[in-house]
């Protein structure tokens, strides 16, 4: 928590260590946050508001409909009221900037309005017929520093990694196609009549029902598709094709272009969804890029510093300071956290 100085409730809710402490408090984390409050007494009230809000979100999930049913209901609302939703969200953000104390009341009013809109739309569909809807897109976005699990309308489970966006059309149940920017793990419901496809950058992945990981960040040179069960077809826009089975991965480099198939290390490619970070002969640019998404921070390297060599390590559910300590021990680098930035210099 060194260097963490929040100014809004949103800052707390974007900070992984705060979320972990509220969700899974331990003696050590309680003691650490108590010391933090002693150093920042002016932030105690803000911390309590953020903690209460996070608890209220958990309470809502524990006492509401199942996750899949709730996702379907919310997605229906997003599809039928996409234009209104954007305006509503912007209005809410403007109010939030003016006064965070109105947040809870804003959520309550939004939920009430959502209920009215759903009821009105159901009546409209009965009158006008379901097929008259215009095709719109539902978007799921996860910011850096967070991960999210949700269900698609067909029951497919998706775990979306930090800094990722997944979108699908309102006709998804008959056209099971999604777009992905970033990384996601899919557990696809089998439907032989409707294949499931993912468009990610320059590759399209097609399956019937299987479990696999797709990584396609815009700021990374190489894409991959790693299969845990079933069979997968991976095809590039330039006509390259790879057929994968359990335990196989296909790597694609758009700049070459080239596609190669091999076995893979689960922890290295998919361990992210189990809170595992594993580097295997990674260069420091790749290491900093991964940690930036994982912890929602930026690395600023001393211009005079030349980064050489490769890095190999494994971290399981570790805080950013612990990861940086590990990096320091095995390199000639020095790290200093300053707000949401890590300064990198030579020892």
Secondary structure, 3-state, 250-273:
EEEECCCCEEEEEECCHHHHCHHH
- From CA 249, how far away is CA 172, in angstroms rounded? 27
CA distance readout (Å), 277 to 61, 268, 294: 28, 7, 9
Smallest Cα–Cα separation from 166: which of 185, 204, 140, 187? 140
**pLDDT on residue 184:** 98
Angle, in degrees to the nearest 10, between helices 44-62 and 16-23:
60
**pLDDT on residue 56:** 59
Instruction: Pinpoint the residues of the chain covered by CATH 2.60.120.1440.
Output: 137-268
Burial annotation 179-203 (CB, 10 A radius, 16+ → b, else e): bbbbbbbbbbbeeeebebbbbbbbb
Q: Residue 189 has what DSSP assignment?
A: P
Smallest Cα–Cα separation from 203: which of 152, 154, 244? 244
Around Cβ 160, how many Cβ atoms within 10 Å? Answer: 23
Q: Domain 275-346, CATH 3.55.50.30 — does that match? A: yes
What is the number of H-type helices and E-type strands within the chain?
10, 18
Asked whether 157 and 148 are in contact (CB, 8 A), the reply is no
What phi and psi values does residue 256 have, to the nearest 5 degrees? -75, -50
**pLDDT on residue 226:** 97
Strands 248-253, 223-229: pairing is antiparallel
**pLDDT on residue 309:** 87
**pLDDT on residue 65:** 47
**pLDDT on residue 20:** 85
**pLDDT on residue 273:** 95
The stretches in the chain having pLDDT less than 70 are: 1, 55-133
Q: State the CATH class of domain 137-268.
A: mainly beta
Instruction: Pinpoint the residues of the chain covered by CATH 3.55.50.30.
Output: 275-346
- How many Å is the maximal CA-CA distance in the chain? 72
- From CA 267, how far away is CA 270, in angstroms rounded? 6
**pLDDT on residue 68:** 57
**pLDDT on residue 7:** 86
């Amino acid at each position: 928590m060194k260097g963490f100085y929040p100014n809004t409730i949103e800052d707390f809710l974007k900070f992984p260590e705060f979320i972990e402490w509220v969700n899974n408090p331990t003696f050590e984390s309680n003691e650490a946050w108590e010391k933090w409050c002693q150093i920042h007494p002016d932030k105690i009230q803000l911390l309590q508001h953020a903690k209460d809000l996070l608890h209220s979100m958990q309470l809502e999930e524990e006492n509401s409909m199942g996750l899949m049913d709730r996702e379907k209901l919310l997605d229906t609302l997003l599809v039928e009221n996409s234009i209104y939703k954007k305006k509503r969200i912007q209005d809410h953000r403007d109010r939030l900037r003016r006064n965070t104390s109105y947040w809870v009341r804003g959520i309550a009013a939004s939920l009430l309005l959502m209920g009215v809109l759903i009821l009105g739309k159901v009546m409209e569909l009965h009158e006008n017929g379901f097929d008259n809807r215009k095709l719109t897109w539902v978007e799921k976005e996860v910011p850096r520093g967070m991960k999210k699990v949700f269900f698609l309308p067909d029951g497919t489970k998706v775990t979306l990694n930090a800094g990722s966006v997944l979108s699908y059309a309102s006709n998804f149940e008959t056209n099971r196609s999604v777009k992905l920017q970033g990384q996601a793990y899919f557990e696809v419901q089998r439907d032989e009549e409707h294949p499931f496809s993912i468009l990610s950058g320059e590759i399209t992945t097609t399956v019937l029902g299987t479990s696999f990981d797709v990584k396609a960040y815009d700021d990374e040179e190489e894409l991959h598709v790693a299969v845990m069960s079933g069979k997968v077809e991976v095809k590039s826009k330039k006509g390259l094709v790879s057929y994968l089975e359990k335990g196989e991965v296909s790597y694609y480099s758009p700049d070459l272009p080239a596609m190669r198939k091999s076995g893979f290390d689960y922890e290295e490619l998919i361990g992210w969804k189990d809170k595992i970070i594993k580097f295997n002969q990674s260069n420091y640019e790749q290491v900093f890029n991964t940690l930036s998404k994982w912890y929602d921070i930026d690395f600023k390297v001393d211009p005079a510093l030349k980064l050489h060599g490769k890095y190999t390590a494994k971290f399981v559910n570790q805080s950013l300071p612990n990861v940086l300590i590990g990096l320091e021990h095995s390199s000639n680098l020095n790290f200093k956290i300053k707000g949401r930035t890590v300064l990198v210099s030579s020892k």
